[in-house]
Structure 1
Amino acid sequence: MFHPATATGSLGADLRALRKARGITLAELAADLGRSVGWLSQVERDLSQPSITDLRRIAARLGIPVSMLFGQAPAPAKEAGHIVRQGARRPIGSGAAGLVEELLSPDLTDDFEMVHSTFEPHSRIGEVVTRPTQEVGYLVSGRLDLVISGTRFTIHPGDSFRIRGEPFEWINPYDEPAVAIWVIAPPVY
């Protein structure tokens, strides 16, 4: 069973990183949650544990699935913050539209995040996305169609791509899953 915060106590650090990436101040988030700045500051420093209700409100305000706020499997002390084992990846994203995403980065405290993305056969994002990010990806297997600023590209294994704050969407019209490694700066999950 997963619990809020990881073995490295990164729930607070992740919350702080997500809040800052969205340009939300500590006071603004505390007010939106109906909580004090002191309480939220303690949560961000891992000195206080939020309730499930608090986590749901925080996730809604940050625009992330609540599952993102639950830690991955505990890592051995010498690996914590450095190594993420395959079976201990943190699921992220909504899982909607046939996309399964796992965080490859140990946490969200870096200037970027690395994501393992599996696009199920015959799936599509369903909307054009524009994010204030720079994103690069590498297709490991399968084929994937990307529409970047209105131009459609078919990506094959070994191909890489970059999106710089441009509108984009992904489509997997093929019979096999597509697997990509995606690096996003700043973190959005």
Structure 2
Amino acid sequence: MDDLDQVLGGVGQRLRALRRRREVTLAKLAEATGISESTLSRLESGERQPTLKLLLPLARAHGVPLDELVGAPPTGDPRVHIRPVRRHGMTFMPLSRRPGGAHAFKLIIPGSLHGAEPDPQTHEGYEWLYVLEGRLRLVLGDQDLVLTPGEAAEFDTHVPHWLGTAADAAVELLILFGPQGERTHLRARTR
């Protein structure tokens, strides 16, 4: 078996292990990627050869680099190469790339978003955040809170929540997000 066959032969096992570690069903993964459940099952069992067209949406859905899915050899460089992502005017900087478990992000909400109308959302997981700079407005269920530097909050993300600025200046915070979270106590003043 040559190197290519070895790499491709291990993709299915890595995909199954990653999906199970994240506690995601084939149905949910199919919904997230647009790849049929039967194709996903055949990929995981090794009955279907992986292609770039299949692996890219899977890497995106799992939040991992493509290298991790194909088992590329480590480069020996421990630095985190941050690639900021902009969503809804905010900048997310991933600080970790570990599949499953907690994910760490630095989030910057610009002051230009101050006064935005809250639009609470829900999703899977648990979140812990810590304000580094600025004043964060956290709408959590029926609570409207303001957190300042050094304050932290934790919550189940099934509770409708929204993050914004409580002033005209930018807010910088660290976020740990995952299926479970380290528990800390909410320390915030109500607005």
Shared fold (TM-score greater than 0.5)?
A: yes
| Residue 87 (structure 2) aligned to one of 96, 107, 121 | 96
Provide the C-alpha distance between the structure 1 equivalents of 2:124 and 2:40, rounded to a whole number of angstroms. Answer: 29
* In the alignment, structure 1 residue 144 sits paired with structure 2 residue 148: no
| 1:131 partner amino acid | H
Give aligned-pair identity as a percent.
15
> TM-score normalised to the size of structure 1?
0.62
| 2:26 partner amino acid | T
What is the CA-CA distance between 1:112 and the residue it aligns to?
1.1
CA shift in 2, pair 1:131/1:28, >3 Å: closer
Structure 1 residue aligned with 2:96: 105
State the secondary structure of the residue aligned to 2:43. Answer: helix
* In the alignment, structure 1 residue 169 sits paired with structure 2 residue 167: no
> Could you list the runs of 5+ residues in structure 2 that have no partner in the other structure?
1-10, 68-73, 181-191
Structure 2 residue aligned with 1:77: 75
Structure 2 residue aligned with 1:3: none
Deviation per residue, 1:71-90 (Å, 9 max, x gap): 69xxx7334xxx443xx124
State the secondary structure of the residue aligned to 2:130. Answer: strand
Provide the C-alpha distance between the structure 2 equivalents of 1:29 and 1:132, rounded to a whole number of angstroms. Answer: 16
What is the CA-CA distance between 1:96 and the residue it aligns to?
2.7
| 2:25 partner amino acid | I
Deviation per residue, 1:134-162 (Å, 9 max, x gap): 21111111111001111111111111111
In the TM superposition, structure 1's runs of 4+ consecutive aligned residues that sit over 6 Å from their partners are none
Structure 2 residue aligned with 1:7: none
Rg larger for: 2
Structure 2 residue aligned with 1:37: 41
Residues paired across the two proteins, number = 158
State the secondary structure of the residue aligned to 1:171. Answer: strand
> TM-score normalised to the size of structure 2?
0.61
Deviation per residue, 1:93-122 (Å, 9 max, x gap): xx232111121113324x211111111213
> Could you list the runs of 5+ residues in structure 1 that have no partner in the other structure?
1-9
Q: Is the 8 A contact 1:97 1:126 kept in 2?
A: no
Provide the C-alpha distance between the structure 2 equivalents of 1:38 and 1:28, rounded to a whole number of angstroms. Answer: 14
Provide the C-alpha distance between the structure 1 equivalents of 2:144 and 2:110, rounded to a whole number of angstroms. Answer: 19
Q: Is the 8 A contact 1:145 1:154 kept in 2?
A: yes
Superposed CA RMSD in Å reads 4.1
Structure 2 residue aligned with 1:115: 105
Deviation per residue, 1:2-27 (Å, 9 max, x gap): xxxxxxxx9x9689646864632279
CA shift in 2, pair 1:36/1:177, >3 Å: closer
State the secondary structure of the residue aligned to 1:108. Answer: coil
* In the alignment, structure 1 residue 25 sits paired with structure 2 residue 17: no
Deviation per residue, 1:58-81 (Å, 9 max, x gap): 589x5x8xxx56569xxx7334xx
